[in-house]
Amino acid sequence: MNVMAKAKKKISSAFIYFFGSFGGILFGYDIGVMTGALPFLQADWHLENAASLVGWITSAVMFGAIFGGALAGQLSDKFGRRKMILMSAIVFMIFSVLSGVSPDIGEASAYYLIIVRMFLGLAVGAASALVPAYMSEMAPAKARGRLSGLNQTMIVSGMLLSYVVDFLLKDLPGEWAWRLMLGLAAVPALILFLGVLRLPESPRFLLRKGDEAQARKVLSYIRKNPAEIDQELASIKETAKEERQANQKTSWSTLFSSKYRYLVIAGVGVAAFQQFQGANAIFYYIPLIVQKATGQAASSNLMWPIVQGIILVIGSLVYMWIADKFNRRTLLMVGGAVMGLSFILPAVINWMMPNMNPMTIVVFLCIYVAFYSFTWAPLTWVLVGEIFPLAIRGRASGLASSFNWIGSWLVGLIFPIMTASMPQEAVFAIFGIICILGVIFVKTCVPETRGHTLEEIEEQGTNHGRVKATNPEN
């Protein structure tokens, strides 16, 4: 026992934070991998004119993730964050392999892959919920902002990794190319599983289960002095007590009471707008977008996803640098305005200049991705983590996550259907209008949270509710 304790003692905080956030790699890899696999899959299964099937194959992961996040949150309260991350890695490995060995049995192959990717989505949704929870419970308060940025960096790094893998495999025979692209997702899942085997359980979960001695031991791995550990243990106990009391007094209807409605609408609205603005249409379909713009085969356009991935990684690093230097609302409004214009201007230019260079739309998409990467992409989850009062935080955060995944699923599903029935510039112009509506929403419905304590944010919401109740015409 002493030998094991000493072995665990050697685990560095860097190792814990790296593998604690490594689940973001799975999330990002599976978002990105279908980008490269889809052109080969379409050709191999003759799906070029089956827009709805293409949409379902692409979006099935997000459909499963809607349920995976909620299920993992409940199970992790019972079995622990660490065990559920391990389980997610196993599920991810199994269904990644099953994706790669999809049988070639005509149209039924597409339905097989859709079902398999729905189960894969359970693991993706679980990772998206469990990783931030584990990291927030392990990280010291002063480092939580940077570590939330680390999670975002892991996600976009996973996307970039998948784009590079897709590019390296593109010259294989069509069937082998897409099968290896999908199947190799099992490799980062295996790395995650092996890394998390050495991770400790979160001290917060251990305290909830009454194991204070083990919680103290875990904190000793990642905190500097005994006084800091004692203070944090006391704080966790107090917060857990408050949460138990809050959960006993609240229900789903509480979210829409006059006291909390303003903050719930703000947080859930930002989470929904992040996806309905159309970012994932680019991430999933950029080779097909370039193909439609230029006439070149999508399978020859796999350098463009890598360009997008590099922009996303750089943007996540920019965010970590500017996160606490600008107001949340300012970044969201500036980012949303530029994103909206990046979608609308190609349609305007094409209307005024019908012979517009077809690559113009791709350049504007790069501008969109750049501003999305350091504004709406990371800030949505920072704001969702800050804006909900303690009494409703669990339910409200779950509702925001569900709306986000629903938006992601719908965009992935309907984009190929929309582009099959109208000009590509018109489709992006619709998303651009949604971006502008998002800016208006932030301007009118979202309070500033930077520099405010959680109590001050709650007071803003409460006061806003009182004003609305007194002056309903406002």
Are residue 24 and residue 146 in the same domain, yes or no? Answer: yes
Question: Is 229 a member of any domain?
Answer: no
Average pLDDT over residues 376-384: 86
Average pLDDT over residues 348-372: 88
**Count of domains observed in the chain:** 2
Question: Is 79 a member of any domain?
Answer: yes
pLDDT (0 to 100) of residue 474: 43
Are residue 26 and residue 111 in the same domain, yes or no? Answer: yes
Are residue 321 and residue 184 in the same domain, yes or no? Answer: no
Are residue 291 and residue 350 in the same domain, yes or no? Answer: yes
Q: Among the listed ranges 296-300, 359-363, 380-384, which one has the minimum average pLDDT value?
A: 296-300
Are residue 327 and residue 421 in the same domain, yes or no? Answer: yes
Average pLDDT over residues 240-245: 69
Domain holding 392: CATH number?
1.20.1250.20
Residue 469 pLDDT > 50:
no
Are residue 384 and residue 293 in the same domain, yes or no? Answer: yes
Please give the share of the chain, as a percent, with pLDDT higher than 90.
33
Provide the pLDDT confidence category of residue 245 given band limits of 50, 70 and 90.
low
Are residue 136 and residue 263 in the same domain, yes or no? Answer: no
If we measure between CA atoms, which residue out of 456, 469, 329, 324 comes closest to residue 389? 456
Domain boundary among 165, 182, 199: 199
Residue 165 pLDDT > 70:
yes
Are residue 49 and residue 165 in the same domain, yes or no? Answer: yes
Are residue 195 and residue 72 in the same domain, yes or no? Answer: yes
pLDDT (0 to 100) of residue 1: 40
Domain boundary among 134, 165, 199: 199
Are residue 123 and residue 267 in the same domain, yes or no? Answer: no
Residue 10 pLDDT > 60:
no
Question: Is 439 a member of any domain?
Answer: yes
Provide the pLDDT confidence category of residue 378 given band limits of 50, 70 and 90.
confident
pLDDT (0 to 100) of residue 464: 67
- pLDDT tens, residue by residue, 215-234: 888 888 877 777 778 887 88
Are residue 458 and residue 320 in the same domain, yes or no? Answer: yes
Could you tell me the pTM of the whole model? 0.81
- pLDDT tens, residue by residue, 176-219: 999 999 999 999 999 999 999 988 888 888 887 888 888 888 88
- pLDDT tens, residue by residue, 84-131: 999 999 999 999 999 999 998 777 889 999 999 999 999 988 887 787
Residue 146 pLDDT > 70:
no
Question: Is 1 a member of any domain?
Answer: no
Are residue 192 and residue 71 in the same domain, yes or no? Answer: yes
User: Which structural domain range is residue 458 located in?
Assistant: 250-474
Question: Is 7 a member of any domain?
Answer: no
Question: Is 208 a member of any domain?
Answer: no
Question: Is 242 a member of any domain?
Answer: no
pLDDT (0 to 100) of residue 5: 43
Average pLDDT over residues 442-468: 73
Question: Is 147 a member of any domain?
Answer: yes
Mean pLDDT of the chain, nearest integer: 84
Average pLDDT over residues 272-285: 91
Provide the pLDDT confidence category of residue 320 given band limits of 50, 70 and 90.
confident
